[in-house]
């Protein structure tokens, strides 16, 4: 997806993808993934998500990566926070307390160390099929050897609607040579996403999966 597309969406406030509450799958499954406080969490394509607050409140240092500077600035402005400016992983960043939000292309993010945990609610589904393999390789490189992540995806008839968000089928994930995925929950998501039905989608499911490095992978 052309970065200009997302810059236009934020500039026009066309952010229907932004949730006004914490994602319920994060609330239901995160304690299983990260019972211990203090584990660093990476949130790709984080926007100004309320999920960042929840992860920080659970005791995690949180690092988000977001293409749009407007989204990052809005996160702190809406909370009445004046962040400090810094550089993390080669990207300009704003930081306050446990939350650091990096501004730039996720594929150019190069931190000093991998992350114990990753939470992906909106990143993989934002990418067309041709870029998702490179994205999963980036996750492989950014996840600590004993780390794991929580991934939330959508599944629908891609012929009925052009993304984003795109449909990411479970069999696509299962073909990943480096990361193993285990489905935790699948729900009927169409009632909560009327915009999909308006665009011609007749069935929509949302899936939560836990992922980690495959045993014997090349990493």
Provide the H-helix boundaries in the chain.
3-11, 24-33, 51-57, 69-77, 129-142, 170-174, 194-198
Q: Which residues does residue 86 pair with via DSSP β-bridges, in sequence order?
A: 93
Tens-digit pLDDT string for the chain (219 aa) = 466 554 455 444 444 444 568 999 999 999 988 777 889 999 999 999 999 999 999 999 999 999 999 999 999 999 999 999 999 999 999 999 999 999 999 999 999 999 999 999 999 999 999 999 999 999 999 999 999 999 999 999 999 998 889 999 999 999 999 999 999 999 999 988 888 888 889 999 999 999 999 985 544
CATH number, domain with residue 136: 3.40.50.150
Q: How far apart are the first and last CA of the chain?
A: 27
Residue-range definition of the domain harbouring residue 185: 22-66+105-213
Name which of 95, 92, 72 is nearest 82 in CA terms: 95
Q: Does residue 73 fall inside a structural domain?
A: no
Statement: the pTM of the whole predicted model exceeds 0.85: yes
Name the domain count of the chain. Answer: 1
CA distance 111 to 88: 7
CA distance 162 to 166: 7
């Amino acid at each position: 997806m052309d970065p200009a597309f997302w810059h236009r969406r934020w500039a026009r406030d066309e952010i229907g993808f932004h949730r006004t509450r914490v994602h319920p799958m994060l609330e239901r499954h995160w304690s299983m993934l990260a019972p211990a406080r203090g584990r660093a969490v990476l949130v790709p394509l984080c926007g100004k998500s309320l999920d960042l607050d929840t992860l920080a409140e659970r005791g995690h240092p949180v690092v988000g990566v977001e293409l749009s500077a407007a989204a990052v600035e809005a996160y702190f402005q809406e909370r009445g926070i004046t962040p400090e400016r810094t550089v993390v992983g080669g990207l300009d960043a704003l930081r306050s307390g446990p939350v650091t939000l990096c501004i730039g292309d996720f594929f150019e993010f190069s931190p000093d160390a991998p992350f114990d945990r990753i939470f992906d609610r909106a990143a993989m589904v934002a990418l067309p099929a041709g870029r998702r393999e490179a994205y999963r390789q980036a996750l492989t490189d950014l996840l600590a050897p004993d780390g794991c992540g929580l991934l939330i995806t959508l599944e629908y008839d891609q012929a009925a609607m052009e993304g984003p968000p795109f449909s990411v089928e479970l069999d696509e994930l299962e073909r990943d040579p480096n990361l193993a995925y285990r489905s935790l929950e699948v729900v009927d998501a169409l009632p909560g996403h009327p915009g999909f039905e308006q665009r011609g989608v007749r069935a929509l499911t949302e899936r939560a999966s836990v992922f980690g490095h495959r045993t014997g992978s090349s990493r």
